[in-house]
């Protein structure tokens, strides 16, 4: 967890996601993902993917960052940066969130929640336009 007293800075979030990617535990897929999640109150949580020998038990980097923030009591979020690439590569590639993570994030995010990828900044409403809600 980092305290961010600076303004919302997408490039800074992407840099933190790239750093967090170094902690990925991805021995089965070899694909390392890092995330940096900014809460509405300005706190930043990072995450990485954590795989498991029982493959479905593994968790994506997005849900790790959200889990850390949610378990500290945060419920409102501004943006997440996602950086992914094969583990040995230094330069990251376009890495959009999987469908399960889109639904997971949707529970806690407004339509204008920002998803910072390598090419541009998307909004929740772009990546999950018709949402399931109970
Ligand atoms: N993965 C993520 O962590 N986030 C994504 O947005 C896409 C996929 C992980 C899951 C798995 O550990 C690896 O990348 C390959 O699918």
User: Both tokens of residue 113?
Assistant: 């929640």
The continuous run of DSSP H or E covering 123 comes out as strand 121-123
Atom of ligand 1 nearest to the CA of 96: 6
Per-chain mean pLDDT for the chain: 95
Question: Is 132 within a domain?
Answer: no
What tens digit of pLDDT does each residue of 70-96 get? 999 999 999 999 999 999 999 999 999
pTM for the model stands at: 0.95
- The answer to whether residue 22 sits within a structural domain is yes
- Binding pocket residue ranges, ligand 1, CB within 6 Å: 26, 29, 31, 33, 49, 51, 58, 60-62, 82, 95, 97-98, 101
Assigned domain for 8 exists: yes
Domain contains 134: no
pLDDT of residue 7: 79
Look up the CATH number of the domain holding residue 58: 3.40.140.10
Question: Is a pLDDT exceeding 90 seen at residue 6?
Answer: no
3-class SS string, 69-99: HHHCCCCCEEEEEEEEEECCCCCCECCCCCH
Q: How many CA atoms lie within 13 A of 116 on its CB side?
A: 21
pLDDT single digits (tens) 38-61 = 999 999 999 999 999 999 999 999
In a domain, 92, yes or no: yes
Task: Please list the active-site residues.
Answer: 62
**How far away, in angstroms, is 24 Cα from ligand 1 center?**
10
- Tell how far the Cα of 68 is from the centroid of ligand 1, in angstroms: 17
The answer to whether position 21 is within a domain reads: yes
Containing structural domain, residue 66: 2-127
pLDDT, tens digit, for every residue of 111-128? 999 999 999 999 999 999
């Amino acid at each position: 967890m980092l305290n961010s007293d600076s303004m919302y800075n997408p490039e800074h979030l992407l840099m933190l996601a790239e750093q967090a990617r170094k902690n990925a535990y991805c021995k089965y897929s070899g694909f390392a993902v890092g995330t940096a999640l900014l809460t509405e109150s300005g706190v930043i949580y990072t995450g990485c993917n954590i795989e498991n020998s029982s493959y479905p038990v593994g968790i994506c980097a997005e849900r790790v960052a959200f889990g850390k923030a949610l378990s500290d009591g945060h419920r409102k979020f501004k943006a997440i940066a996602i950086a992914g690439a094969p583990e040995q590569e230094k330069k990251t590639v376009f890495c959009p969130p999987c469908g399960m993570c889109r639904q997971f994030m949707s529970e806690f995010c407004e339509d204008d929640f920002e998803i910072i990828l390598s090419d541009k900044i998307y909004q929740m409403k772009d990546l999950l336009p018709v949402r399931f809600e109970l």
